[in-house]
Amino acid sequence: MAIAVERWVRQPIRARAVASTATGIAVASCVAVVPLHRWVASQVDIAPLSWSDLVLGAVWPVAGAVVISARPRNAVGWLLLSAGFIGPYLLLGTLAAWSQLARTDPLPLTDLATWISIWGFAPYLFVVPLVLLLFPDGRPASDRWRTVVTVVGVVSGITIATRMFSPVGSDVADDMRNPVGWLPDGSQIVTRVGAFFALLVGSALGVLSLLIRSRRATGVERTQLQWLALGGVVLLAGATASLFGEPGGGWSEAAFAAGLVGPPAAVAVAVVRHRLFDVEFALNRTVVYVVLSGAAVVAYLATVVAIGGLTTASTRGALLVAVAAVVGAAGRSGAQVAVDRWLFGHRRDPYAVVAHVGRDVARGNDPAEALERLVDALREALRLPYAAYIGATTIESGAAVAGWHSTSVVCLGQHLGELRAGRRRPGERLSEQEQAAISEVADRAGTLAYALTLVDDVAQSRARIVAAREEERRRLRADLHDGVGPSLAGTALQMEALAKRLANQDEYELSARADEIRDRLRGTVQDIRAVVHGLRPPILDQVGLGGALRGLVAGLDVPSCSVLLPDDVDQLPASIEVAAYAIAAEAVSNALRHSAASRLQLTLAWDGDQSVQVEITDDGCGLPSRPAAGVGLTGMADRAREVGGRFELLVRPGGGTIVRATLPRSVPA
């Protein structure tokens, strides 16, 4: 059923026709109920008509129809359209009151109209929280938020269903009882609890969802969220203004009804024409003036309460109003700065941007991390959708956009790269303050980039030295093992034969000296063998790296071990072979001694064309919360770094440990 409905909604013509028809019915109902309500109220006692209900029933579905006409598959438009049921609810409730209370013979279908007047306010329960949870694309922020949407929908459905069959009176007139009130009297508590959860808890969760979206939003989505924020500010301003009027009075009702126009209008513009106006400017000024107005009103009321009853017609009252106005004007600049900081970061204060970036950079442990922090801090400080350093090393933050402002990164007269600041909207030109801030940050990026090049040069030099050392060790081992060692061993055999011949000729003293030289030669051969073994693990030359890695776990029953290797594993340089074997040997030894694992896997795989990855995984007891950096861990990390690689010690999902070393496949030239 759901799939069929979704396929039907995908037809734009059908969707627009339904939206237009439903909107027409909603608006017509709201228009018709105004004179009808006056006429019925002159005959029977019914509840007054709420202007906020009329706005919800007429303006919200219009905004929904606008959204549906542009985005038929966006659930937000259909939610806004559902608010249009308020119009028929008001119209049918008023007709039912007239038919049931003013006439002696009720009209046909009066019970049906009365029943709808019992629960027809239902859109209030789910429209606001679900719009907040699904805005702007009609989908939840994540799978977890999908669960929240489901819960809010289910609770709203249960609440509405309970209200349909509760023995309660209509909101139009309490004398109009539910004609199908089959549930017991205690069922009203379900309606109250459900309404409280849907309206308050659901809306609070919706606001939290929007805040989470805003933190990671960029580009169009960020602009859409700002539009909804502007609509929320308008609603808040209207609700706040309504508090200062007489409850149920014309001013209070009009203020709240005007505020209700904000969210649907903002949603419609955000989804359909989010680039039509400068939402940042409008949101900025609206928030500032709402804050100032609220502060001035609170200050005035607090002073009135403290001094005593004053009226604006009195001299002291007029003076008090003037003082409040002066205080509000004086606080405008401070409020403007605070709102600018909240909405736009430090984009209007270059020195604040530099200070913010500097604080983040200072926490970096090395030039690479510091440069990453610099790029992230620049994007955060200026509220940019994207920032990047492009050079020998590319560091990006945020989602890439179509256009950006580029600034050269220079240090000591060398052009090292460029710093890119993504534009928030196509064709946008960054302000002079923002460009000045980016230039200042680019100077600091140049220092870090230059330091990073030095660190890279040192690392490459170290890797070349290690590679040359290992190649030389391999050559020396071959020379000693295949040349000097056998030669000395042969000389020892000759001395032994000479000693026997001298003994046969009764030259016992010379024979003893020959035996002594033979023993010394054999001792020297043993020393050479020890040196040969210390230069390079012999097993690498005997069976190759693949055989050596398999030999680390050969013959083990517990834990169950497996080894995964590529076919051309023995094509690595000597330094990489030694590092890979040493790291694997230490990791396997640690797992066997400390992990209590039942399974262990050793994997060597090519990581692209430039790297090889050595990984040892076990399902044992895992790592302590703060693993001590012992000789083994430090040695493995040093082995990886000295050949230009990196070492990671990770927690295995489901329990256990992952030891991973990523090493280069070739030596820097």
What does the pLDDT look like over 37-92, one tens digit per residue?
A: 888 888 888 888 888 888 888 888 888 887 787 778 888 888 888 888 888 888 88
CA distances, 440 to each of 409, 450, 452, 503 (Å): 10, 16, 19, 91
Among 92-106, 121-135, 211-225, 633-647, which stretch is predicted with the lowest mean pLDDT?
211-225
The predicted structure's pLDDT at residue 542? 82
Amino acid at 542: Q
Average pLDDT on 283-289 reads: 44
The predicted structure's pLDDT at residue 412? 83
* Domain co-membership, 584 together with 643: yes
CA distances, 24 to each of 21, 29, 51, 81, 116 (Å): 5, 8, 19, 11, 20
55 occurs within a structural domain: yes
Which domain, by its residues, includes 43? 2-277
191 occurs within a structural domain: yes
The predicted structure's pLDDT at residue 236? 64
User: Residue 465: CB partners within 8 Å, gap ≥ 6?
Assistant: none
468: which 2 tokens? Answer: 């040359």
The predicted structure's pLDDT at residue 140? 85
pLDDT bin (cut points 50, 70, 90) of residue 447 is confident
The predicted structure's pLDDT at residue 247? 54
61 occurs within a structural domain: yes
369 occurs within a structural domain: no
410 occurs within a structural domain: no
381 occurs within a structural domain: no
How does DSSP assign 492-561, residue by residue?
HHHHHHHHHHHHHTT-HHHHHHHHHHHHHHHHHHHHHHHHHHHHS-HHHHHHHHHHHHHHHHTT--SSEE
Q: What is the 3-state secondary structure (H, E, C) of 630-659?
A: CHHHHHHHHHHHHCCCEEEEEECCCCCEEE
* Domain co-membership, 120 together with 56: yes
Whether the predicted pLDDT of 282 surpasses 50: no
The predicted structure's pLDDT at residue 338? 53
* Domain co-membership, 266 together with 302: no
* Domain co-membership, 99 together with 163: yes
452 occurs within a structural domain: no
Question: Rounded distance, CA 490 to CA 518, Å?
Answer: 10
Last residue of a domain, one of 329, 344, 359: 344
Q: How many domains does the chain have?
A: 4
Residue 658, phi then psi, degrees to nearest 5: -125, 120
Q: Is the entire prediction scored with pTM above 0.75?
A: no
pLDDT bin (cut points 50, 70, 90) of residue 283 is very low
Residues 148-175 pLDDT 10s: 889 988 998 998 888 888 888 888 887 8
* Domain co-membership, 205 together with 230: yes
Please, what's the b/e burial string for 613-627 (b: 16 or more CB within 10 A of its CB; e: otherwise)? bbbbbbbbebbeeee
649 occurs within a structural domain: yes
The predicted structure's pLDDT at residue 285? 45
Average pLDDT on 509-538 reads: 78
* Domain co-membership, 522 together with 563: no
CATH number at residue 606: 3.30.565.10
* Domain co-membership, 498 together with 546: no
Long-range contacts of 304-309 (CB under 8 A, 24+ apart): none
* Domain co-membership, 129 together with 73: yes
* Domain co-membership, 213 together with 231: yes
End-to-end CA distance of the chain: give it in Å, rounded. 64
Residues 106-165 pLDDT 10s: 888 888 888 888 888 888 788 888 887 887 778 888 888 889 889 988 998 998 888 888
Whether the predicted pLDDT of 436 surpasses 60: yes
User: Residue 47: CB partners within 8 Å, gap ≥ 6?
Assistant: 171, 172, 173
Last residue of a domain, one of 515, 535, 555: 535
Last residue of a domain, one of 312, 344, 376: 344
Question: Rounded distance, CA 579 to CA 462, Å?
Answer: 14
Amino acid at 68: I
Answer with the residue of higher pLDDT: 276 or 328.
328
Percentage of the chain with pLDDT > 90?
A: 3
Measured torsion, CA atoms of residues 462, 463, 465, 467, in degrees rounded to the nearest 10? 160
* Domain co-membership, 20 together with 139: yes
Average per-residue pLDDT for the chain: 76
The predicted structure's pLDDT at residue 324? 52
* Domain co-membership, 47 together with 141: yes
Is 616:633 a contact under the CB 8 Å cutoff?
no
For residue 662, give the 3-state DSSP assignment: strand
The predicted structure's pLDDT at residue 278? 41
* Domain co-membership, 192 together with 47: yes
